[in-house]
Amino acid sequence: MQKTIKWEPLLNTAEIGVTAKNGVVTLSGMVDSYAKKVEAENAAKRVSGVKAVAEEIEVSYGNSFKKNDIEIATEILNAWKWNWEIPSDRIMVKVENGRVTLEGKVEWNYQKEAAKKAVNHLVGVKMVINSITVQSRTQDAIEKTAIEHSPDRSWAEDSENIVVDVKGNGVKLTGTVDSLYEKDEAGRLAWNALGVWTVDNELFVDYDN
C-alpha cells in the first residue's frame, strides 16, 4: 500500500504527511485551502488497500489573510446564485471562524452535494459541515430493483456482494466491497434512486478477498 500511495501525486507533496498501517491511512500537515484538504482525502480513498482514512490536515491562510465570516457567508450565497443545481432558498448557511455549517431540506442528494462543492473552493473556508437533509416530494416506495440493477453499477466487479434493503424511503447497504471508493460509489448510486430520503451505508471494505 505504501508503494501505491507514492504514486498518488496529491499525497506525495511536502504539505501533506501520510502514514499507513493495517489498512488505515493517516493524513496530516497544513494546506492553504479547504479544497486541498478534501482532494487529499478523496485521493487516499482511491488507493488500493485503504480501509479507513484518519484526516488530521489543518487549513491555514496565513497571518495576512483578512477575510471575515460575513464576507465568507456573502461569497457562499453569491456562488449559489449562479448554480442551477442549488435551491438556495431552502438552505441556510452559518459561518464561525471559517467553519461553515449548511442546513435545510432539499429534494435530491445531488443538490446537497452541489451546495457543499460550491463552498469547498472558496477562500477563507476551513471546514464544511453538511447537515442538509434530503426529503423528496414523492413518498412512493423506492424501487429496489432500480438500485440493484443500475447500469452504473458495472464499475464494481463485486457488485453482486452488495445487499440492498429498502424500508419506506430509506436504503440500507450491507455486504463487502474491495475499496473505500467502491463503498462511496455504491452509496452515491443508491441516492440517485427516486424517493430516497436516507442511505445507511454499512458496506465492509475487505481488500484481502
Could you tell me which residues come within 8 angstroms of residue 73 by beta carbon, excluding any fewer than 6 positions away? 93, 94, 95
The conformational region for residue 195 under phi > 0 = left, psi -120 to 50 = alpha, else beta, is left
Sheet holding 52-59, edge to edge: 16-21, 24-31, 52-59
What is the spatial distance between Cα 151 and Cα 137, in angstroms, rounded to a whole number?
25
Q: How far is CA 42 from the centre of its chain?
A: 8
In a domain, 110, yes or no: yes
**pLDDT tens per residue across span 102-124:** 999 998 888 999 999 999 999 99
Residue at which a domain ends, from 77, 101, 134 = 134
Whether 139 is in a domain gets the answer: no
pLDDT tens for residues 130-162? 999 988 776 555 665 666 655 455 445 456 788
Q: Based on the domain organization, do 74 and 54 belong to the same domain?
A: no
Any domain includes 89: yes
Query: Residue 40 belongs to a domain with what CATH number?
Result: 3.30.1340
pTM attached to this predicted model: 0.72
113 within some domain: yes
Helix or strand or coil: residue 129? strand
Range of the domain at 180: 144-205
Question: What percentage of the chain has pLDDT greater than the value 70?
Answer: 80
Q: Tell whether 168 is covered by a domain.
A: yes
Q: For residue 187, give the nearest of 203, 167, 205, 206 by alpha carbon.
A: 203
> Is 80 domain-assigned?
yes
Whether residue 125 sits in one domain with residue 73: yes
* Count of structural domains within the chain: 3
Helix (H) or strand (E) holding 45: helix 34-46
